Structure 1
């Protein structure tokens, strides 16, 4: 057999073996009936993440990629979280997370993170560096059959976005993102570490008792000598577990949302207007609070529930805050670390 024939056969064999592992490759058109079935199954999976949960956040730095760096000790925390569907247009599903904290009879609600799922979007609002989010085109060849997930912070400002396919393998239903850039979570930001962002892959997987959010994070720091201006510091693995549980005051979450949902809908619209008008969002962030207006936006929500501010006044103040904080030149050029929750 000729050498070229042997080489060709070897390459074909290698391709045949490797192809199933190319999870990020384009999804070939599977026909309308099959695509519709996948779409409906995906929707059911995303919607099933709504409910009431006992949540466990498990964070562990592991492998140092930089000599002399000592990985942090493992950190575990948790609480109670209600997840509600606040929008469903068919191709877009919005899930709002609400933390319920405090002793029995004295519970209070903290508006937590939000996740927006969109089917075959043309663009996503991606984090591109300190204080900055920009619209990024989702590659056309990668849109078929895929969903984007955009995560928003407690004040509905953006946090990160990625895209991926819902798949069934080994009897498990899972979604895996592309490589996604994220600002620091509060657990890291308040320490003012040498790294300033995560490059990670997010996975959402259904379990018999709920679902998990699994993060595979590489913590990165600026380095002008590196090819892309960044170098890795340490690896981190985060497992957020949501187990269905209603043994807490779930009514507190629903009462808070009933009182504030129209206000937060207006806030979401304001952020969307800014992103569309400016090609993204630039806003200064602080390690302790997230965006510089996050604390006040949340406080307005509490005042609205308590009846100490009228809804029109609440929305007007929020609009002014967002407009001023996102105006050109409003964000400081100093290095700041974004502060979010453990997601």
Structure 2
């Protein structure tokens, strides 16, 4: 073999090694190392002022008789504030800011609670019931739970998961999570009545995204069956050229009231196996409408926080049950 052949052979070998998938692709980590400080930073970065786009698409039908809904786009402006941070627990409150006929309206929106290495999480169990799910000790290390609460601070869904980075993208990915119908679906009286979901929260250069993969299921002959797959991408883009002050003014006027309402729900859940409360398609829980009205009356100066709480506690005692 000539010297030239030796050089060509060595060069080809080097080229083969350079493009070998085993060497070109970094390994996929099965269990990322805990990164508490970075996790906290990513959660806290979801606070701020945003323009939000909600992109919803029923994609794959699992029932041949079902016709998927067309893609739906909506959006608005949202203020997200940190209302509690104890280090291992972070609570974010969302407030929608809506402009209508020259007036600014504030709607208290969803709330998300993040807890580090929790022992249990309050999860959607079945229609009108939320129960505690124990998290095995071996699965707690380095993980966070996310519990989402509805506009009246009643529970919506809870799951747990971990932050990880793959392909240079950082994300929190949930466990499989049961969820009740969103109002946008419930008002249509669809054949399905719940979702089984994976949620992802991911920071971006412009803000963050919340990506949901929802299997929509319903009862058929007393058995849960899937009807359709839905993908929801909520994009939060940092923006401040709207009436942020209106949201902050609403919260300043009503935060003491809502602190006590949160404590009311927490006390019911902590004292038993969970919470039972009836939901209606148009309003959410049967107590939701009045609880929100009482907050508006406080903001308008029509009642005091103390009087509103007296009525709210009586309403919850009559309509909400401890499991």
Q: TM-score scaled to structure 1, two decimals?
A: 0.84
Contact 2:202 2:209 in 1 (8 A): yes
Runs of 4+ in 1 over 4 A off after TM superposition: 19-23
Give, in angstroms, the shift of residue 273 of structure 1. Answer: 0.7
Matched, 1:291 2:291: no
Match of 2:110 in 1: 113
1-side partners of 2:212 and 2:227: how far apart?
Answer: 16
2-side partners of 1:114 and 1:148: how far apart?
Answer: 13
Structure 1: 5+ residue stretches without partners: 1-18, 330-343
- Output one character per residue of 1:184-235: Cα deviation in whole Å (capped at 9) or x when no partner: 011110011111100010000111100000000000011346xxx3111000
Of 148, 171, 174, the residue aligned with 2:171 is 174
Of 120, 135, 139, the residue aligned with 2:136 is 139
2-side partners of 1:233 and 1:299: how far apart?
Answer: 36
Of 218, 240, 250, the residue aligned with 1:246 is 240
1-side partners of 2:86 and 2:241: how far apart?
Answer: 31
Give, in angstroms, the shift of residue 96 of structure 1. Answer: 0.1
Match of 2:42 in 1: 45
Which is greater in Rg? 2
Of 70, 73, 81, the residue aligned with 1:73 is 70
Distance 1:157 1:137, change over 3 A: same
Contact 2:271 2:322 in 1 (8 A): no
Give, in angstroms, the shift of residue 82 of structure 1. Answer: 0.2
Match of 1:9 in 2: none
Structure 2: 5+ residue stretches without partners: 1-26
1-side partners of 2:301 and 2:275: how far apart?
Answer: 31
Match of 1:163 in 2: 160
Give, in angstroms, the shift of residue 327 of structure 1. Answer: 3.4
Equivalent position SS for 1:301: helix
Match of 2:5 in 1: none
Matched, 1:91 2:88: yes
Is the strand fraction higher in 1 or 2? 2
CA RMSD of aligned residues (A): 1.7
Of 71, 79, 83, the residue aligned with 1:82 is 79
Number of equivalences: 298
- Output one character per residue of 1:240-299: Cα deviation in whole Å (capped at 9) or x when no partner: 000000010000000000000000000000001111123100000100000001000000
- Output one character per residue of 1:114-151: Cα deviation in whole Å (capped at 9) or x when no partner: 00000000000000111000011012111000000000
